Amino acid sequence: MAQSNSLWRRFTTSQVFWPLVALGLIMLFNAFFTPNFFKLEIKDGHLFGSLIDIINRGAPLMVLAIGMTMVIATAGVDLSVGAVVAISAAVATVLINPALGNTLIASDKLVENVTATPLPVVILAALVAAALCGLWNGMLVSRGRIEPMVATLVLMVAGRGIAQLITGGQIITVYYTPYFFVGNGYLAGVPFTLFIVAAVGLFAWLLTRKTAIGMFVESIGINVKSSFYSGIDEKNIKLLVYTFSGICAGIAGLIVSSNIKSADANNAGLGFELDAILAVVIGGTLMTGGRFSLLASIIGALVIQSMTTTMYAIGVPAMAAQAVKAVVVMVVILLYSEQFRTVINRLFARKEVQS
Amino acid sequence: MNRSFKIDRKFVPLLATVGLFTIGYILGAIKYPGMARPQTFFNLFIDNAFLLIAATGLTLVIISGGIDLSVGAVIALTSVVAADLMENVGLSSLVVMPLMLLMGAAFGALMGGIIHYFKVQPFIVTLAGMFFARGMAFFVSLDAITITDPIYRSLSLARIHLIGKAFVSVHVIVAFVVLAVFMYLAHLTRFGRTVYAMGGNEQSARLMGLNVGRTKVMVYTLGGFCSALAGLVFSNNLLSGHGLYANGLEMEAIAAVIIGGTLLTGGVGYVFGTMFGVLVNGLIQVLIIFNGELSSWWTRIVIGLLTLVFILVQSTFTSWQRRQAGIRPTRKRSDAVATTSDGAVVPDTPTS
Amino acid sequence: MAESDQVILTMTGISRAFPGVQALQDVDFNLRRGEIHALMGENGAGKSTLIKVLTGVEAPDTGVINLDGKEVQVKSPQHAQDLGISTVYQEINLCPNLTVAENILIGREPRRAGRIDWKRMNAEAREILLRLDVDIDVTRTLGSYSVAIQQMAAIARALEIASAKILILDEPTSSLDAYETSQLFGVMRKLKSQGTAVIFITHFIDQVYEIADRITVLRNGKLVGVYDTAALTHLELISNMLGRNLVELENVSKSRTRRAQSFSSEPLMQARELGSTGAIEPFDLDLYAGEVVGLAGLLGSGRTEIASLLFGIDKPDHGTLTYDGAVVRKYSPLASIARGVALSPEDRKAAGIVEDLSVRENIVLAMQASRGWFRFLSSAKQTEIADKYIKLLNIVTPSPEQPVKNLSGGNQQKVILARWLATNPQLLILDEPTRGIDVGAKAEIQKLVVALAEEGKACIFISSELDEVLRCSDRVVVLRDQEKITELAGDEMNETLIMQTIAGS
């Protein structure tokens, strides 16, 4: 009995509790207002349904949130992830496109189910490009001593231009079916993207919790001076988290471009940086750095995605849904704000005195 | 003293931008005679009037040490709501325009209020504001709405001739009025100086007895007002409203402010400089168009690099200035009043 | 004129307690018009709390403040300013990005037709500064001037905007050089002649004798006495400040002489002409395994600066440092830890603990940092290490998983010591390890230092409490004004001689 009590306490005080409550509330809402929300069907040996849809569509965001969590935990922020998604998508599709290195090509060749570059090379190249972007951010922050928001803004502005440079300003459509598997495939009946998220999450968890890196990240985020005095290599930790965030954005770029079978440098990953930050904030990691939970951030991403999906389901247009999202997010953030709690407490205290 | 020969160091970044624009334009005019035509020059202003208005409001926000990411979204929201009220509700543009400005100001005030009273980072609040405004725009209408209001149309087509046939639009006049008002506010009023003081050191500004809270709310209110005005100009230019308009414009505006010599961390900058930031932005586009071979995405890359260069110039400049002043890092005393990250005073528990 | 006419401020029977600490206990203080009154005491003496009470930052538990013959309750810093009490801090509370003129006059700037009249503002600011004999270009930004000038601008603002009758200068000279200090003193004399009462807080004894009329000394939250500067010798002042610690600190080993013989012949660490401009003058220092070397001197005398150099926080711009026979080239905490050097920093809160991390994580932090990213201590191993040191150092915590910020000051200090002991250092530098902690914990830490030396480790022990330094150390290095003055050992190691050396007489 005592055992289960303390387990419950540990659960309620853990970082994943409130994001889970939020997710639960959304699910509860759906149970009443969205018909067939929880219905799962098996078609062609694949699972289908709104829940599967949330996971599949939320996959890029979950991957981004994992990278962003570590950056925010060091009291930083990465504004460039949306642009890096576009760059990664651009690199991948350009390498696949049969027109690569050959501008004069018959149009029927273009739509053939072939790739100009072997798929492993495509994926590797996209991830290397994304990692370089992250490394650039990390250098500016750790060696250039530029504020993270300012440093990553540069790539946020220039990144989409670079992506357009890569694609030659065109929306590149992919006809190579093996590539579709990344964002649309199924493995053992569930979407392949789920495996990607799980793999990235597991890797990040191993990286932070089975090495000293997680502890160092939190330590830097809480008190950078004490960390320096304790011999922690603050610069390289920062370099690492920004690079990792870049790689995560690269993976998200692969999923997105595979999912929609094309790369649009202007619109791929548009607004992703903001969604990723919000996912982390909903997950209870403070923007000022410190303690972080990868799982809570992933749940935070699911909260955002299920909110979006719910609104589609009840007929709110996709673009309009972000207004509701904004209000919900603001409420969550205010609930985390100490000042807001103080004001609320004071209001209630006053009422009690009056009555 | 040779004071008259010495340019105040604080003007260096601003002069760099002015010089960059002037030299860039002259070189362009030599290479492409089309650029030497007065109308090409005026088109720079006509095409960027809305950006200039939005960036001017943003300049004050950034100088105060904050940021406003909702600029582009508020432009889109204004364009849609204005179009909807004129076309579907049937209000006159003379009623709609002041209403829109009020809406923008109120939206800014709300964000400023949350930032100040609940101590949430401006970045987060205006980010949510951006989502909210863009979402609301689509609640009003999913499709673009064409505006047919006669007054609005005539405003859009009005030309003010300056040199011969060369003209500017009404929008340019509006932009210059906004610029002048903000220059006045920034440099000649206590409000403006409080904005600078806050950006330099908010804690000190409070200790100096300045009304930091009211000023902060006011800055975001003005920012919202400018965004709404920019939205009107934008929709007047296109004679339509749509939620997708001005996508990512906040980043262009921030880049213009930085290139205009304003420190993104606050406290230093000139409203006047922002105009040149906007012009540099426009000049790059013009050069790329006249060149004809370079593609439009080079604009983004060049703007991004210029932003980086200006950030680097400013950070080395600041440290150079500190070195000139011979300021040594002072050891923080443990019994001093500590400042938390959000600027609140927390007296240390004394030890004895 | 009767003496009571001159008195502008009296504070009587002021007490203030914080959880676990009696910061002020029945302290009296009075201030006369046109005097410069030095407020002196070591860290934790109660100076800053007294000033906080006077400026309305803290409310006193008991006690009365009389200003100009009327009893007042200072409610807030703003209220204090309205009453004519202004403070200028070492870290100047002005805006470096505004011009000097604005900094002096903003909030009361001259206006014409609703807009700021810059011409008149500059003229007025210039005139105000000229009254203080400061002649500078007021249209330049404040940040482009030296700290001394910035301080004068802050003083000018206090006088002009708050029409200060009482001006508190809180360690204004800490970051000034000799010339700047003399500039500031000029301003202070000018103020004095104009009838302003100045409270001058400083650690520099010579400066007090140069400028102050009277001196109030506090120690451990109590008033030691009020003295006319002319009637108090340097030595008396210092012994009043440092005092004899009356509290019984039990059983610290007195076997210094025995240990003195067991030193190895080769020094573990050797500094030759090591120095850093503006922080510490070049000094020589030898450290042997198995000894405790005390650094004695007032705050700001260069104690912490020596610690920073030896641990690689700061890089020297002069001289060489040898460790274990090899010249040190890499100055960084990480490199120092690898060499076997540890530093428990002076400022526990800012540079010591990592507040939100658990006791366990705080303890293993430095050890893990030296092992690198991938040779990770398993959580079982971490708990084992934490438990070991919690037991060894008697750290009072509900569990190793408790965030360290929830612990008392003494236990936080022990956690930091545990962090360093876990790295198995050969040289431990302890900068004020006993500050702000209770007597029991103090004694434990002193015992620990001696025990570590007996195990063969070298220790540098820095403290403001002289008897503590003497009790723990085999040798004492005496510092004054950022300079190593002498080294005392054996029979020379006594309080009188050390205080004479610090006093420079």
Instruction: State which of A119-133, B263-277, C153-167, C348-362 shows the largest mean pLDDT.
Output: A119-133
Side chain identity at residue B102, one-letter code: L
Per-residue pLDDT, B232:
97
Residues of A in contact with C354 (CB under 8 A): 218-219, 222-223, 226-227, 230
* Residue that has been written with the tokens 């609301």 in this structure: B136
What is the H or E stretch that residue B129 is in?
helix B122-140
Domain boundaries, chain A: 16-37+45-315, 322-355
Mean pLDDT confidence for B270-299? 89
Distance from first CA to last CA of chain A, Å, rounded? 40
What's the CA gap between B281 and B276, in Å, rounded? Answer: 8
Residue A320 token pair: 């309009």
Residue B286 token pair: 């013009």
Residues of A in contact with C375 (CB under 8 A): 212
Q: Does B35 touch chain A (CB under 8 A)?
A: no
- The minimum CA-CA distance between C46 and chain A, rounded to whole Å, is 26
Show which of residues 146-185 on chain A sit within 8 Å of chain B, judged by CB atoms.
146-147, 149-151, 153-165, 168-169
Contact check, Cβ <8 Å, A226/C373: no
Nearest to C370 among A211, A231, A291 (CB): A231
Per-residue pLDDT, C328:
92
Per-residue pLDDT, B49:
96
What is the H or E stretch that residue C13 is in?
strand C7-18
* Partner residues linked to C31 by β-bridges: C9
For the four alpha carbons of A315, A320, A321 and A324, in that order, the dihedral sign comes to negative
- The minimum CA-CA distance between A184 and chain B, rounded to whole Å, is 28
CATH number of A16-37+45-315, picked from 2.40.160, 3.55.50, 1.10.3470, 1.10.10: 1.10.3470
In chain C, what percentage of residues exceed pLDDT 70? 93
Comparing CA positions, the residue from B264, B261, B263, B283 lying closest to residue B273 is B261
Per-residue pLDDT, A8:
83
Comparing CA positions, the residue from B249, B278, B257, B253 lying closest to residue B134 is B249
Which CATH number is C3-242 given?
3.40.50.300
Q: Does A299 touch chain C (CB under 8 A)?
A: no
For residue C295, with 0-12 CB atoms within 10 Å meaning exposed, 13-18 middle and 19 or more buried, which class applies? Answer: buried
Comparing CA positions, the residue from A102, A123, A107 lying closest to residue A168 is A102
* Partner residues linked to C38 by β-bridges: C200, C215
Contact check, Cβ <8 Å, A339/B307: no
Per-residue pLDDT, A77:
93
pLDDT above 50 for C255: no
Nearest to A288 among B114, B304, B341 (CB): B341
Q: What is the pLDDT of residues B150-202, one digit of tens each?
A: 999 999 988 888 888 889 999 999 999 999 999 999 999 999 999 999 999 99
What's the CA gap between A57 and A302, in Å, rounded? Answer: 10
Q: What is the pLDDT of residues B51-90, one digit of tens each?
A: 999 999 999 999 999 999 999 999 999 999 999 999 999 9
Q: Does C141 touch chain B (CB under 8 A)?
A: yes
Interface predicted TM-score of the whole assembly (ipTM), two decimals: 0.85
Which CATH number is C256-340+425-505 given?
3.40.50.300
Per-residue pLDDT, B228:
97
Residue A21 token pair: 């409550």
Per-residue pLDDT, A1:
45
Q: What is the pLDDT of residues C176-196, one digit of tens each?
A: 777 888 888 988 998 899 889
Give SS3 for B146: strand
Residues of A in contact with B119 (CB under 8 A): 337-339
For the four alpha carbons of C452, C453, C457 and C459, in that order, the dihedral sign comes to positive
pLDDT-derived band at B324, boundaries 50, 70, 90: low
Q: Which residues contact C494 (CB under 8 A, 6 or more apart)?
A: C470
Q: Does A206 touch chain C (CB under 8 A)?
A: no
Pinpoint the residues of chain C covered by CATH 3.40.50.300: 3-242, 256-340+425-505
Lowest mean per-residue pLDDT among B320-329, C133-142, C339-348: B320-329
Contact check, Cβ <8 Å, B201/C143: no
What's the CA gap between C117 and C122, in Å, rounded? Answer: 9
Q: Does domain B7-324 have CATH number 1.20.950?
A: no
Q: Which residues contact C292 (CB under 8 A, 6 or more apart)?
A: C449, C450, C453, C458, C459, C460, C461, C472, C473, C474, C475
Closest chain B residue to the Cα of A147, Cα to Cα: B265
Q: Which residues contact C264 (CB under 8 A, 6 or more apart)?
A: C288, C289, C290
Residues of B in contact with C180 (CB under 8 A): none
What's the CA gap between C65 and B95, in Å, rounded? Answer: 61
Do the Cβ atoms of C425 and C342 come closer than 8 Å? yes
Residue B305 token pair: 């690099």
What's the CA gap between A344 and A39, in Å, rounded? Answer: 40
Rounded mean pLDDT for each run of 10 residues along chain A, 355 residues in total: 69 84 89 81 80 90 97 94 95 87 68 85 96 96 87 87 89 89 86 94 95 95 94 94 97 94 85 87 88 95 90 81 82 79 76 54
Q: Give, as one character, the DSSP assignment of residue B140.
A: H
* Partner residues linked to C430 by β-bridges: C344, C461
What is the H or E stretch that residue A115 is in?
none
* Partner residues linked to C15 by β-bridges: C62
In angstroms, what CA-CA distances link C431 with B23, B330, C304, C331, C501? 58, 18, 7, 19, 21
What's the CA gap between C72 and B71, in Å, rounded? Answer: 50
Per-residue pLDDT, A353:
53
Position with higher pLDDT, B317 vs A30: A30
Q: Does B304 touch chain A (CB under 8 A)?
A: yes
pLDDT above 60 for C251: no
Per-residue pLDDT, C244:
52
pLDDT above 60 for C480: yes
pLDDT above 50 for C345: yes
Per-residue pLDDT, B28:
92
pLDDT-derived band at C246, boundaries 50, 70, 90: very low
Per-residue pLDDT, B4:
43
* Partner residues linked to C201 by β-bridges: C39, C170
pLDDT-derived band at B345, boundaries 50, 70, 90: very low
Per-residue pLDDT, C257:
47
Average pLDDT, chain C: 86
For the four alpha carbons of C164, C169, C175 and C177, in that order, the dihedral sign comes to positive
- The minimum CA-CA distance between A297 and chain B, rounded to whole Å, is 16
Largest distance between two CA atoms of chain C? 83
Per-residue pLDDT, A131:
98
Q: What is the pLDDT of residues A109-151, one digit of tens each?
A: 777 788 888 999 999 999 999 999 999 999 999 998 888 988 8
Per-residue pLDDT, A265:
84
Residue C487 token pair: 């080294």
Give SS3 for C325: coil
* Residue that has been written with the tokens 């293993």 in this structure: C364
Q: Does B308 touch chain A (CB under 8 A)?
A: yes
Contact check, Cβ <8 Å, A320/B118: no
In chain B, what percentage of residues exceed pLDDT 70? 87
Q: What is the pLDDT of residues C45-67, one digit of tens each?
A: 888 889 989 988 889 999 999 99
Per-residue pLDDT, C469:
87
Residue A138 token pair: 């990390």
pLDDT above 60 for C258: no
Residue C220: alpha-carbon gap to chain centroid? 15
| Alpha helix stretches (DSSP H) within C37-177 | 47-54, 77-82, 100-105, 118-131, 147-161
Instruction: State which of A301-310, B177-186, C142-151, C250-259 shows the largest mean pLDDT.
Output: B177-186
What's the CA gap between B202 and B196, in Å, rounded? Answer: 9
Nearest to A165 among B252, B297, B312 (CB): B297
Lowest mean per-residue pLDDT among B102-106, B229-233, C459-463: C459-463
Comparing CA positions, the residue from B302, B251, B293 lying closest to residue B69 is B251
* Residue that has been written with the tokens 């050969």 in this structure: C426
Phi/psi for C252 (5° steps) reads -80, 135
pLDDT above 60 for B326: no
DSSP structure string for C366-433: HHHHHH-SSSPPPHHHHHHHHHHHHHHTT---S-TTSBGGGS-HHHHHHHHHHHHHTT--SEEEEEST
